[in-house]
Structure 1
Amino acid sequence: MARVADRGQLLLAAAFGLAIVLVALALVVNSVVYTGTLATTDGVGSDERAATRYHHGAVTGTRGLIATVNDRSHASHATLTRNLSTGVTQWDALAGKQYALEGAATNATLSATTNETRIGQDDPTRALTDRSGAANWTVAASVPAIYRQRYTVSRSSLTAVPPGTDCRATGDCFAVVVDNGTDTWRLFAATSPSGTDIAVEIVDPNGATTTCSVAASTATIDLTNGTLAGTACPALDVTAALDGPYTITHRRGDRARGSYRLVVEGIVPAGTAFDNDDAPYARPGVAAVTVRVRYRTADLTYETDTRVLRGGLDG
């Protein structure tokens, strides 16, 4: 069995290495096109054009590598960062050969990483509890930023609120509570008294209440784009109402079933609430990196640090 596992690890390493090589080769082609554009720019010497070309290639290459490593399963942020650093080094080794022919010494290194954690569950029939089934639990504590927070819930799983009843007061409906240690933002989700709508009630840090609803059997509640089932409900945008750091809590997670995706800045330790394979999960990712780019010839020394953001979030 150990030999089979070793072969599997070798295959994964080879696949990752091949992905890096393909990214690097694509960027060499892009660099040629980019050079053709720069060659038409007046007042820029050949060394300056080459340095700009190398810088552009390093940034584009790093962005591609971030997408590559984020798309793979990693046991920890440390492993992910190590693979990304190795990818930048390998890209530089490949791209640097082209510039060496032009008499230039190049170097691109990873100098800083901004971690993110991807939290969620994909089973639309599972309650929004932690792994042990606890209905009230902390999803993420004191994270600097929320990049995405989105829930897709079924109407049939939500608490049916009789006319004249306030489930905020009774505590009978699913709630998302976000606070920064000073102010608190709350979302309550339930079935409308008519039984036909999914209704969400938002209480902002000042105590103002907003209600949005949609006639649907399932609906996506987007807390970073401020929409309910794709329709604008600006009060849902928690990041507009509240500054970080954020602590995100689920209340009465047993009163809602569905899937959700959260992406937050920082490292959320795996514990009783999370598992990398089970639901809910917490998986490491990279939000941004800083790359140090150096380009040197006999007549030019160019060095800069550039922050490279990952591409948009899918799904």
Structure 2
Amino acid sequence: MADLRGNERGQIILVAAFALAIIFVAMALVVNSAIFTENLASRGETTGSNDALSMRAMVEANVGDAVASANRNNNASTATLTTAVNASVRNISRQTGRQAARSGRVVDVAYDSSTAGERVYQSDGTTFANNSSAEYPVAEDVARVTDGNGTRAFEIDATDIAAANNDSAFTVRVQEHGLDSGNENSWRARIWRVDSDTVHVRTLKNASGTTAIEDCEVTHDPSLSSVHVDVTAGTIEGEPCDALTTGPTGENFHFGAGATDNYDVSFANADEITGNFSMVVHPGSSLSLPSLDSSLESSPALYDVTVRYTYVTTDMRYETDVRVAPGEPDV
């Protein structure tokens, strides 16, 4: 065995340490290079995905407009509605396809399926009172759908709001089906006019006995002939209303929050508001529209439509089903 002196042992240790240092530096360079390459790849994928998602959002909006138009104008039957929407989807596919082709992309939109519903509306411009009654059920036993509310596109165009305070306010009430009294498992939106330029909404949400309250006020544009309240979208004349969406504390006040899976929709103090309204409800298995008369009407509607969306570039392919239910609240 070789006899190493103390200084020789020290030199060997120093050489070994130097060699290890070189190995560690080399490994760090390799790892950093791999991370950098992965980051670049991720950025490239994100950029392509963003383009695909942006186009998808545009397609969803266009299909939503087609569904809303069909429900208003082609509502003789569900078959007529389906034909009209299918034709619109083909047109949307052609238009977006031509637009995408200019930048080397392929986009295709194809009708897949739809869910039938009912549209309930008033269009004669009178008060919302029905059969001379200011309090009545509009739709009973409305069924929520998977990832959906069961009521959507509930819009009010009020040419006059006579109520001047909370006590006389026109009220939209949503409550668990079968609960005919009390406020448990309910959502109530009260609408009144503070003055000629200000509209007030107060929402009371009761979930299992606990009531939360949220208010909002929006200034009315006097140049407009009516006050437009999009109840399910949560806006008044296009301005967000905390009492119809999410409050400052994060509390959910969207249409129907607090009510359970099957609920009833009714009006109170309906003689305190004048104009027109429209809503689309999901039929479920036992939907009832008990208060239809000469002013309150209904017609077949499509509650939602599903389309197949495909987006292709030289680097990626994105294909998915897109469910479109315009005006459906997030609750």
Query: What is the TM-score normalised by the length of structure 1?
Result: 0.52
Structure 1 pair 236/156, CA: closer, same or farther in 2 (3 Å)?
Answer: closer
Structure 1 pair 71/207, CA: closer, same or farther in 2 (3 Å)?
Answer: closer
Q: Using the TM superposition, give the Cα deviation of residue 254 of structure 1 relative to its aligned residue in structure 2, in angstroms.
A: 0.9
Output the aligned Cα RMSD.
4.4
What is the aligned counterpart of 2:192 among 187, 190, 193? Answer: 190
Q: Using the TM superposition, give the Cα deviation of residue 312 of structure 1 relative to its aligned residue in structure 2, in angstroms.
A: 7.6
Structure 1 pair 200/269, CA: closer, same or farther in 2 (3 Å)?
Answer: same
Structure 2 equivalent of residue 140 of structure 1: 139
Structure 1 equivalent of residue 215 of structure 2: 211
- Tell which deviates more after alignment, 226-235 or 183-192: 226-235
Structure 1 pair 190/75, CA: closer, same or farther in 2 (3 Å)?
Answer: same
What is the aligned counterpart of 1:230 among 232, 238, 241? Answer: 238
1:222-276 deviation digits (Å, cap 9, x = unpaired): 222222232222221354634643321101111111221212222797866336x
1:25-45 deviation digits (Å, cap 9, x = unpaired): xxxxxxxxxxxxxxxxxxxxx
Structure 1 pair 208/307, CA: closer, same or farther in 2 (3 Å)?
Answer: closer
CA contact (8 A) 2:173 2:188 kept: yes
Structure 1 equivalent of residue 169 of structure 2: 173
Match of 2:242, as an amino acid? P
What is the aligned counterpart of 1:274 among 264, 288, 292? Answer: 292
Match of 1:227, as an amino acid? T
Structure 2 equivalent of residue 249 of structure 1: 266
Match of 2:215, as an amino acid? T
Structure 1 equivalent of residue 100 of structure 2: none
Structure 1 equivalent of residue 154 of structure 2: 149
Match of 1:281, as an amino acid? E
CA contact (8 A) 2:152 2:326 kept: no
Structure 1 pair 204/123, CA: closer, same or farther in 2 (3 Å)?
Answer: same
Alignment of 1:262-301 (within 5 A): 262-266=279-283, 273-274=291-292, 278-288=294-304
CA distance in 2, matches of 1:306, 1:231: 31
Q: Using the TM superposition, give the Cα deviation of residue 65 of structure 1 relative to its aligned residue in structure 2, in angstroms.
A: 9.0
Match of 1:147, as an amino acid? R
Match of 2:122, as an amino acid? Q
Structure 1 stretches lacking a partner, 5+ long: 1-58, 88-109, 293-304
1:185-218 deviation digits (Å, cap 9, x = unpaired): 11112232x5653222211224222222234354
Q: Using the TM superposition, give the Cα deviation of residue 184 of structure 1 relative to its aligned residue in structure 2, in angstroms.
A: 0.6
CA contact (8 A) 1:155 1:191 kept: no
Structure 1 pair 272/78, CA: closer, same or farther in 2 (3 Å)?
Answer: farther
Q: Using the TM superposition, give the Cα deviation of residue 154 of structure 1 relative to its aligned residue in structure 2, in angstroms.
A: 3.7
Match of 1:280, as an amino acid? L
CA contact (8 A) 1:119 1:281 kept: yes
CA distance in 2, matches of 1:67, 1:199: 28
1:11-31 deviation digits (Å, cap 9, x = unpaired): xxxxxxxxxxxxxxxxxxxxx
